[in-house]
Amino acid sequence: MKRDISIIGAIPLAVFLALWELLPRAGAIDPVFLPPLSTVVETVVGLWHGGDLQTHALVSLRRALVGFLAAVALGLPLGLVVGGWFPRLQTALEPLMELFAQANPVVLFHIIILFLGIGEGAKTFIIGWLCLWPVTFSAINGVRGADPLILKAARSLGVGRLRLFVSVVIPLAAPSIFAGLRLSAGYAFIMLIAAEMMGASSGLGWLVIQAQESYHVARIFAGAAVITVMALAVDGILKLIGLWLAPARDTEESRPLGELAANVKER
Protein backbone atom coordinates (compact mmCIF):
# COMPACT_ATOMS: atom_id res chain seq x y z
CA MET A 1 0.00 0.00 0.00
CA LYS A 2 2.76 2.43 0.98
CA ARG A 3 4.65 1.47 -2.17
CA ASP A 4 1.60 2.28 -4.31
CA ILE A 5 1.27 5.66 -2.59
CA SER A 6 4.97 6.38 -3.24
CA ILE A 7 4.58 5.53 -6.93
CA ILE A 8 1.49 7.73 -7.25
CA GLY A 9 3.32 10.56 -5.50
CA ALA A 10 6.25 10.28 -7.93
CA ILE A 11 4.05 10.67 -11.03
CA PRO A 12 3.51 14.47 -10.73
CA LEU A 13 7.25 14.99 -10.19
CA ALA A 14 8.09 12.91 -13.26
CA VAL A 15 5.57 14.84 -15.36
CA PHE A 16 6.98 18.16 -14.12
CA LEU A 17 10.56 17.17 -14.97
CA ALA A 18 9.51 15.86 -18.39
CA LEU A 19 7.70 19.10 -19.22
CA TRP A 20 10.70 21.09 -18.02
CA GLU A 21 12.83 19.25 -20.57
CA LEU A 22 10.36 19.08 -23.46
CA LEU A 23 8.69 22.50 -23.48
CA PRO A 24 11.91 24.52 -24.00
CA ARG A 25 13.13 21.96 -26.55
CA ALA A 26 9.87 22.28 -28.49
CA GLY A 27 10.00 26.07 -28.42
CA ALA A 28 6.83 26.38 -26.33
CA ILE A 29 8.93 28.27 -23.77
CA ASP A 30 11.92 30.42 -24.71
CA PRO A 31 15.06 28.54 -23.56
CA VAL A 32 16.61 31.92 -22.75
CA PHE A 33 14.20 32.22 -19.82
CA LEU A 34 13.78 28.52 -19.00
CA PRO A 35 16.68 26.29 -20.08
CA PRO A 36 15.89 22.59 -20.55
CA LEU A 37 16.41 20.38 -17.54
CA SER A 38 19.34 18.64 -19.22
CA THR A 39 21.10 21.99 -19.66
CA VAL A 40 20.67 22.76 -15.97
CA VAL A 41 22.02 19.31 -15.07
CA GLU A 42 25.02 19.86 -17.34
CA THR A 43 25.64 23.19 -15.59
CA VAL A 44 25.52 21.51 -12.19
CA VAL A 45 27.98 18.85 -13.37
CA GLY A 46 30.27 21.54 -14.76
CA LEU A 47 30.22 23.46 -11.48
CA TRP A 48 30.96 20.22 -9.64
CA HIS A 49 33.96 19.35 -11.81
CA GLY A 50 35.23 22.91 -11.48
CA GLY A 51 35.03 22.70 -7.70
CA ASP A 52 32.80 25.77 -7.37
CA LEU A 53 29.69 23.81 -6.45
CA GLN A 54 31.24 21.99 -3.49
CA THR A 55 32.84 25.18 -2.16
CA HIS A 56 29.71 27.32 -2.30
CA ALA A 57 27.37 24.51 -1.22
CA LEU A 58 29.39 23.79 1.92
CA VAL A 59 29.45 27.49 2.82
CA SER A 60 25.68 27.75 2.37
CA LEU A 61 25.01 24.52 4.27
CA ARG A 62 27.14 25.70 7.18
CA ARG A 63 25.31 29.04 7.36
CA ALA A 64 21.89 27.42 7.22
CA LEU A 65 22.71 24.76 9.82
CA VAL A 66 24.37 27.19 12.25
CA GLY A 67 21.35 29.50 12.15
CA PHE A 68 18.93 26.58 12.41
CA LEU A 69 20.75 24.87 15.28
CA ALA A 70 21.07 28.17 17.16
CA ALA A 71 17.31 28.63 16.83
CA VAL A 72 16.69 25.08 18.08
CA ALA A 73 19.07 25.55 21.02
CA LEU A 74 17.18 28.68 22.10
CA GLY A 75 13.63 28.10 20.89
CA LEU A 76 13.11 24.49 21.99
CA PRO A 77 13.95 25.00 25.69
CA LEU A 78 12.11 28.33 25.66
CA GLY A 79 8.96 26.77 24.23
CA LEU A 80 9.06 23.77 26.55
CA VAL A 81 9.65 25.83 29.68
CA VAL A 82 7.18 28.60 28.88
CA GLY A 83 4.50 26.20 27.66
CA GLY A 84 4.95 23.59 30.38
CA TRP A 85 6.06 25.45 33.49
CA PHE A 86 4.93 29.05 33.17
CA PRO A 87 1.59 29.19 31.31
CA ARG A 88 0.84 32.67 32.63
CA LEU A 89 4.16 33.91 31.29
CA GLN A 90 3.31 32.33 27.95
CA THR A 91 -0.01 34.20 27.92
CA ALA A 92 1.80 37.45 28.68
CA LEU A 93 4.58 36.93 26.11
CA GLU A 94 2.48 35.50 23.28
CA PRO A 95 1.48 38.88 21.72
CA LEU A 96 5.11 40.04 21.75
CA MET A 97 6.37 36.75 20.29
CA GLU A 98 3.74 36.86 17.55
CA LEU A 99 4.80 40.43 16.76
CA PHE A 100 8.44 39.37 16.44
CA ALA A 101 7.46 36.33 14.37
CA GLN A 102 5.56 38.51 11.88
CA ALA A 103 8.43 40.98 11.40
CA ASN A 104 9.59 41.06 7.77
CA PRO A 105 12.96 39.27 7.83
CA VAL A 106 14.31 41.05 4.73
CA VAL A 107 13.61 44.49 6.22
CA LEU A 108 14.95 43.29 9.56
CA PHE A 109 18.12 42.08 7.85
CA HIS A 110 18.94 45.62 6.75
CA ILE A 111 18.50 46.80 10.34
CA ILE A 112 20.74 44.01 11.62
CA ILE A 113 23.44 45.05 9.15
CA LEU A 114 23.57 48.46 10.84
CA PHE A 115 24.60 46.78 14.10
CA LEU A 116 26.50 43.68 12.99
CA GLY A 117 27.77 44.69 9.56
CA ILE A 118 27.57 42.41 6.53
CA GLY A 119 29.67 39.58 7.94
CA GLU A 120 28.76 36.06 9.00
CA GLY A 121 27.21 37.24 12.26
CA ALA A 122 24.44 39.14 10.50
CA LYS A 123 23.64 36.22 8.19
CA THR A 124 23.57 33.71 11.05
CA PHE A 125 21.45 36.02 13.19
CA ILE A 126 18.75 36.63 10.58
CA ILE A 127 18.55 32.94 9.64
CA GLY A 128 18.32 32.00 13.30
CA TRP A 129 15.71 34.70 13.93
CA LEU A 130 13.42 33.38 11.21
CA CYS A 131 13.89 29.77 12.38
CA LEU A 132 13.33 30.59 16.05
CA TRP A 133 9.60 31.15 16.01
CA PRO A 134 8.34 27.90 14.39
CA VAL A 135 10.47 25.94 16.87
CA THR A 136 9.25 27.95 19.86
CA PHE A 137 5.56 27.92 18.96
CA SER A 138 5.56 24.22 18.03
CA ALA A 139 7.11 23.35 21.40
CA ILE A 140 4.55 25.50 23.24
CA ASN A 141 1.63 24.01 21.32
CA GLY A 142 2.96 20.47 21.74
CA VAL A 143 3.24 20.85 25.51
CA ARG A 144 -0.17 22.46 25.82
CA GLY A 145 -1.71 19.72 23.66
CA ALA A 146 -0.51 16.84 25.86
CA ASP A 147 -3.34 14.41 26.69
CA PRO A 148 -4.76 15.56 30.08
CA LEU A 149 -5.98 12.02 30.88
CA ILE A 150 -2.45 10.65 30.72
CA LEU A 151 -1.16 13.52 32.84
CA LYS A 152 -3.92 13.01 35.40
CA ALA A 153 -3.22 9.28 35.61
CA ALA A 154 0.48 9.93 36.21
CA ARG A 155 -0.21 12.54 38.88
CA SER A 156 -2.62 10.20 40.66
CA LEU A 157 0.28 7.78 41.14
CA GLY A 158 2.44 10.48 42.66
CA VAL A 159 4.72 11.11 39.70
CA GLY A 160 6.74 14.26 40.38
CA ARG A 161 6.40 17.33 38.23
CA LEU A 162 9.86 17.16 36.69
CA ARG A 163 9.63 13.42 35.90
CA LEU A 164 6.13 13.93 34.50
CA PHE A 165 7.40 16.67 32.23
CA VAL A 166 10.44 14.74 30.98
CA SER A 167 8.90 11.26 30.69
CA VAL A 168 5.36 12.09 29.55
CA VAL A 169 4.88 15.66 28.34
CA ILE A 170 7.91 15.91 26.08
CA PRO A 171 7.27 12.55 24.31
CA LEU A 172 3.64 13.56 23.75
CA ALA A 173 4.78 16.91 22.36
CA ALA A 174 7.34 15.30 20.00
CA PRO A 175 5.14 15.24 16.84
CA SER A 176 4.38 18.95 17.16
CA ILE A 177 8.03 19.70 17.89
CA PHE A 178 9.27 17.80 14.83
CA ALA A 179 6.71 19.53 12.63
CA GLY A 180 8.12 22.84 13.84
CA LEU A 181 11.69 21.67 13.28
CA ARG A 182 10.95 20.71 9.68
CA LEU A 183 9.22 24.01 9.01
CA SER A 184 12.09 25.88 10.62
CA ALA A 185 14.68 24.04 8.53
CA GLY A 186 12.81 25.05 5.38
CA TYR A 187 12.82 28.67 6.52
CA ALA A 188 16.58 28.47 7.06
CA PHE A 189 17.22 27.73 3.38
CA ILE A 190 14.67 30.30 2.22
CA MET A 191 16.33 33.04 4.25
CA LEU A 192 19.76 31.75 3.26
CA ILE A 193 19.20 32.84 -0.34
CA ALA A 194 18.24 36.38 0.66
CA ALA A 195 21.10 36.63 3.16
CA GLU A 196 23.71 35.52 0.62
CA MET A 197 22.38 37.85 -2.02
CA MET A 198 23.17 40.84 0.19
CA GLY A 199 26.75 41.41 1.19
CA ALA A 200 28.14 37.92 0.62
CA SER A 201 31.18 36.85 -1.38
CA SER A 202 30.49 33.11 -1.32
CA GLY A 203 27.62 30.65 -1.09
CA LEU A 204 24.96 29.43 -3.48
CA GLY A 205 22.87 32.58 -3.06
CA TRP A 206 25.89 34.63 -4.07
CA LEU A 207 26.45 32.27 -7.00
CA VAL A 208 22.86 32.84 -8.13
CA ILE A 209 23.11 36.64 -7.94
CA GLN A 210 26.39 36.56 -9.87
CA ALA A 211 24.76 34.42 -12.55
CA GLN A 212 21.85 36.86 -12.70
CA GLU A 213 24.19 39.80 -13.27
CA SER A 214 25.94 37.92 -16.09
CA TYR A 215 22.62 36.66 -17.57
CA HIS A 216 23.67 33.02 -17.10
CA VAL A 217 20.15 31.64 -16.64
CA ALA A 218 21.17 27.98 -16.49
CA ARG A 219 23.50 28.75 -13.59
CA ILE A 220 20.66 30.53 -11.77
CA PHE A 221 18.50 27.42 -12.02
CA ALA A 222 21.46 25.21 -11.09
CA GLY A 223 22.11 27.15 -7.88
CA ALA A 224 18.42 27.19 -6.98
CA ALA A 225 18.15 23.45 -7.66
CA VAL A 226 21.09 22.61 -5.40
CA ILE A 227 19.65 24.74 -2.59
CA THR A 228 16.34 22.93 -2.99
CA VAL A 229 18.02 19.52 -2.87
CA MET A 230 19.90 20.46 0.30
CA ALA A 231 16.69 21.68 1.93
CA LEU A 232 14.88 18.47 0.97
CA ALA A 233 17.77 16.39 2.33
CA VAL A 234 17.65 18.12 5.72
CA ASP A 235 13.86 17.82 5.80
CA GLY A 236 14.14 14.13 4.95
CA ILE A 237 16.61 13.54 7.79
CA LEU A 238 14.29 15.24 10.28
CA LYS A 239 11.36 13.24 8.92
CA LEU A 240 13.24 9.96 9.34
CA ILE A 241 14.15 10.87 12.92
CA GLY A 242 10.50 11.62 13.62
CA LEU A 243 9.40 8.31 12.08
CA TRP A 244 12.07 6.49 14.07
CA LEU A 245 10.67 7.95 17.29
CA ALA A 246 7.02 7.41 16.28
CA PRO A 247 6.76 3.62 16.85
CA ALA A 248 7.82 3.94 20.48
CA ARG A 249 5.33 6.74 20.99
CA ASP A 250 2.49 4.81 19.36
CA THR A 251 3.24 1.82 21.59
CA GLU A 252 3.11 4.00 24.69
CA GLU A 253 -0.18 5.62 23.69
CA SER A 254 -1.82 2.27 22.97
CA ARG A 255 -1.21 1.02 26.51
CA PRO A 256 -3.74 1.55 29.32
CA LEU A 257 -3.33 4.88 31.08
CA GLY A 258 -2.76 3.30 34.48
CA GLU A 259 -0.03 1.00 33.19
CA LEU A 260 1.62 3.87 31.34
CA ALA A 261 1.58 6.11 34.40
CA ALA A 262 2.93 3.32 36.60
CA ASN A 263 5.77 2.74 34.16
CA VAL A 264 6.60 6.44 34.26
CA LYS A 265 6.63 6.32 38.06
CA GLU A 266 9.11 3.42 38.02
CA ARG A 267 11.48 5.47 35.88
Cα 11 to chain centroid distance, Å, stands at 25
Closest to 258 (Cα-Cα) out of 157, 170, 171: 157
Nearby residues of 169 by Cβ (< 8 Å), 6 or more positions away:
84, 143, 146, 151
Q: Domain check: are 27 and 39 in the same one? A: no
Q: Domain check: are 15 and 127 in the same one? A: no
Please give the pLDDT value at position 4. 53
Cα 39 to chain centroid distance, Å, stands at 29
CATH number at residue 179: 1.10.3720.10
Residue 166 structural domain: 35-266
Nearby residues of 11 by Cβ (< 8 Å), 6 or more positions away:
none
Q: Domain check: are 125 and 68 in the same one? A: yes
pLDDT one digit per residue (tens) for the chain, 267 residues: 555 556 776 788 888 888 888 988 888 888 888 898 999 999 999 889 888 889 999 999 999 999 999 999 999 999 888 887 777 777 788 888 888 888 877 778 778 878 877 778 888 888 999 999 999 999 998 888 877 787 778 777 777 777 778 778 888 888 889 999 999 999 999 888 888 877 777 889 888 888 888 888 999 999 999 999 999 999 999 998 888 875 545 444 444 444 444 454 555
Q: Domain check: are 114 and 70 in the same one? A: yes
Please give the pLDDT value at position 252. 47
Q: Domain check: are 10 and 109 in the same one? A: no
Q: Domain check: are 132 and 157 in the same one? A: yes
Buried b (16+ CB within 10 A) or exposed e, 39-72: bbbebbeebeeeeebeebbebbbebbbbbbebbb
Q: Domain check: are 17 and 86 in the same one? A: no
Q: Domain check: are 22 and 87 in the same one? A: no
Please give the pLDDT value at position 5. 53
Q: Domain check: are 235 and 255 in the same one? A: yes
Any alpha helices (H) in the chain, and if so which ranges?
Answer: 2-26, 37-50, 52-84, 87-102, 105-116, 120-144, 148-156, 161-164, 170-196, 204-213, 217-254, 257-266
Q: Domain check: are 25 and 88 in the same one? A: no
Q: Domain check: are 44 and 68 in the same one? A: yes
Please give the pLDDT value at position 251. 47
Based on the structure, what is the number of domains in the chain? 2
Burial class (CB in 10 A: 0-12, 13-18, 19+), 227: buried
